[in-house]
Amino acid sequence: MASLTRMLYRFAGAVRRAAREESFVAIVSAAIALVLTGTAVYTLGEGWSLVDGFYFAVCTLTTSSIADPDLMLTHGVLKIFTALYVLTGIGILVEVARQLGVGFVKMREEYKATIRAKVEHVHDRRHKDDPPATPSAQ
C-alpha cells in the first residue's frame, strides 16, 4: 500500500510540474476531446451504450487487445474513422506520456536541488565560526 501511495504522489507531482508548461494543458485537452469524440462516434454510430462507446474508444486508442468481442464495427465509415482515430490518437497520447515523463524528471531535479541547498545551508551555518584553513607546513 505504501508503494502505491508513493507512486500516486510522484505521479501527481509529475502532473503538477508538467502542468506548468503551456503546451501540457493543450495536449491533455486534446486527449480528452479525442476520447469524448470517439465515445460519441461509437455510441451513435453503432447504437452502443455510452459505456460501451467509451470502452471501445479507450481500448482503440491504447491499442489494447482487451476489447469486448461483442463490440464489432459494422459500418465501413466507422472503420475508416477508427483508422484515422488511431493514427491521431496514438500521437496525442504519446505526447501526453512524454510531457509527463519530462515533468517527472524536472520534478526530481528540483527536489534534488532543494535537498542540496538545504544541506549546503546547514553546512555553512555549522562551519561559520570555524577558523580559516591554514596551509599545511611542508
For the segment 77-107, what is each residue's pLDDT rounded down to a tens digit?
Answer: 999 999 999 999 999 999 999 999 998 898 8
How is residue 127 written as a grid cell? 562551519
Helix, strand, coil fractions of the chain, as percent rounded to 5: 75, 0, 25
Contacting residues for 55 by C-beta, under 8 A, at least 6 apart: 67, 68, 71
Q: What is the distance between the alpha carbons of residues 89 and 135, in angstroms, rounded to a whole number? A: 66
The predicted pLDDT at position 111 comes to 83
5, part of any domain: no
115, part of any domain: yes
Of 40, 35, 18, nearest in space to 96 by CA? 18
- Determine contact, residues 21/100, Cβ cutoff 8 Å: no
Q: What is the distance between the alpha carbons of residues 47 and 58, in angstroms, rounded to a whole number? A: 17
Scanning the structure block, which residue is given the C-alpha cell 495536449?
27
133, part of any domain: no
Containing structural domain, residue 75: 12-122
Q: What is the DSSP letter of 62?
A: T
CATH classification of the domain holding 116: 1.10.287.70
How is residue 137 written as a grid cell? 607546513
30, pLDDT greater than 90: yes
51, part of any domain: yes
More confident: 135 or 110: 110
For the segment 35-86, what is each residue's pLDDT rounded down to a tens digit?
Answer: 999 999 999 999 999 999 999 999 999 877 676 788 889 999 999 999 999 9
42, part of any domain: yes
The predicted pLDDT at position 130 comes to 63
